[in-house]
Chain A
Amino acid sequence: MNLLFDFTVDESTNSILITREFDAELSLVWDAFTKQEILDQWWAPKPLISKTKVMNFEVGGRRFYSMVWPEGQEYWGVEKYTLINPKTNIKLLASFTDKDENINAELPTSEWELNFSEQNARPDDPVGWGITKVSIVVKNKTLADIEMIIQMGFKEGFTMTLNELENLLSTLNK
């Protein structure tokens, strides 16, 4: 199945735009983004582990979580929910924090908007799985903030690149 994945940076609005389709019904995808026990299973790129410490999914509520390296090093962050329309959209403010949830003012806070929509729901199919499209806009104050966020992401991305290299090498060795 060919699922859409679109990733672009809009320099005029200092935003990162990410769109992805999933082969699952809306309510399941919504749960995957909003229930900590599911979220923690996929949010952290391997080999990192996502650990949600506190999560109240409601307007004014927050998710305080960490990304943990296998070696034990942790990166903390908080997402504060500013708008929730069930199975439709979420707005939140994402910041980097320390382990005591103090926001790191040197790192950018970004404004996230997540939109969910179901396409091709299959009412004739007894299971009825549709395709769910999730569009994410990560809005920053400046483009330099985007660079900083990417740098934070780098700490994760670099490891993944190494893992991929390892996989590639093992394939080549066969």
Chain B
Amino acid sequence: MRRDIFQAIADPTRRAIIALIALQAMTPNAIAYNFNTTRQAVSKHLRILTECELVKQKQNGREIYYSLEIDKMKEIDKWLEQYRKIWENRFNQLDNLLSTIKKNKK
């Protein structure tokens, strides 16, 4: 099942996991060690992040290492950048309008 990318980052623990594995690939045990939580809980979060394709797994011996899909994170930025653009253009239009009104008043 493919999940919503914003659902992935909606949870504070998942955001913390993202921040953690952005620095280096980690095993679920190592991630759980960093939080006050169980390995099971971490596995659940990792599963959601994997379903959103925000993290990738790599088998190394008996351990599975999780790391961040940087490109997928950039996708979120792109969405926001588009929205930011809308506001930027809208405000530029207001700038022009305000200066016209001011000129007419003078």
B7's partner among A7, A12, A144 (CB-CB below 8 A) is A144
- Report which of A16, A142, A154, A161 forms a contact with B10, defined as CB distance below 8 A: A142
> Cβ of A147 < 8 Å from any Cβ of B?
yes
Write the chain A residue with the least CB distance to B4: A144
Identify which of residues 1-58 in chain B touch chain A, using a CB-to-CB cut-off of 8 Å.
4-7, 9-10, 12, 15
Within 8 A of B (CB), among A17-56: 18, 20, 22-24, 28-29, 32, 38, 41-46
Q: Check if B99 is an interface residue, CB within 8 A of chain A.
A: yes
Say yes or no: A38-B91 contact (C-beta < 8 A), given A142-B10, A143-B9, A160-B85. Answer: no
Docked Cα-Cα span, A3 to B83, in Å, equals: 19
Given contacts A5-B91, A43-B90, contact A150 B82 (CB under 8 A): yes
Across-interface contacts of A157 in B (CB, < 8 A): 82-83, 85-86
Residues of B within 8 Å of A22, CB to CB, are 91, 94-95, 98
B6 contacts A24, CB within 8 Å?
Answer: no
The answer on a CB contact under 8 Å between A28 and B102 is yes
- Asked if A9 lies at the interface with its beta carbon under 8 angstroms from chain B, I say yes
Residue pair B97, A32 in contact (C-beta under 8 Å): yes
A60 at the interface (CB under 8 A from B): no
Complex CA–CA separation, A48 to B5 (angstroms): 29
Q: Are B83 and A129 in contact (CB under 8 A)?
A: no
B102 near A11 with CB under 8 A, answer no
B89 x A45 contact (CB < 8 A): yes
Which residues of chain B from 56 to 106 have any CB-CB distance to chain A below 8 Å in the complex? 79-80, 82-91, 93-99, 101-102, 105-106
In the assembled complex, A146 has its CB within 8 A of some CB on chain B:
yes
Q: Which residues of chain A are within 8 angstroms of B12 by Cβ–Cβ distance?
A: 12
Cβ-defined contact, A153 with B90, below 8 A: no
Known contacts A129-B102, A150-B80, A161-B85: does B6 contact A42 (CB below 8 Å)? no
Q: Which residue of B lies closest to A149 (CB)?
A: B83
Shortest distance from the beta carbon of B2 to any chain A beta carbon, whole Å:
14
A74 proximity list for chain B (CB < 8 A): none
Identify 17 new A-B residue pairs, CB closer than 8 A, beyond the known A5-B91, A11-B15, A18-B87.
Answer: A5-B88, A22-B94, A22-B98, A24-B99, A41-B93, A42-B94, A44-B90, A45-B89, A129-B102, A143-B9, A150-B82, A156-B86, A158-B82, A160-B86, A160-B89, A161-B82, A161-B85
B residues whose Cβ falls under 8 Å from a Cβ of A: 4-7, 9-10, 12, 15, 79-80, 82-91, 93-99, 101-102, 105-106
Smallest CB-CB A-B distances: 7 pairs: A42-B93, A143-B10, A143-B6, A24-B98, A147-B6, A42-B94, A7-B84
**30 A-B contact pairs sorted by A residue (CB < 8 Å):** A7-B83, A11-B15, A20-B87, A22-B91, A24-B99, A24-B102, A32-B94, A38-B97, A42-B93, A42-B94, A42-B96, A44-B90, A127-B105, A142-B10, A143-B6, A143-B7, A143-B9, A144-B4, A144-B7, A144-B10, A147-B6, A150-B79, A153-B82, A153-B86, A154-B83, A156-B86, A157-B85, A160-B86, A160-B89, A161-B82
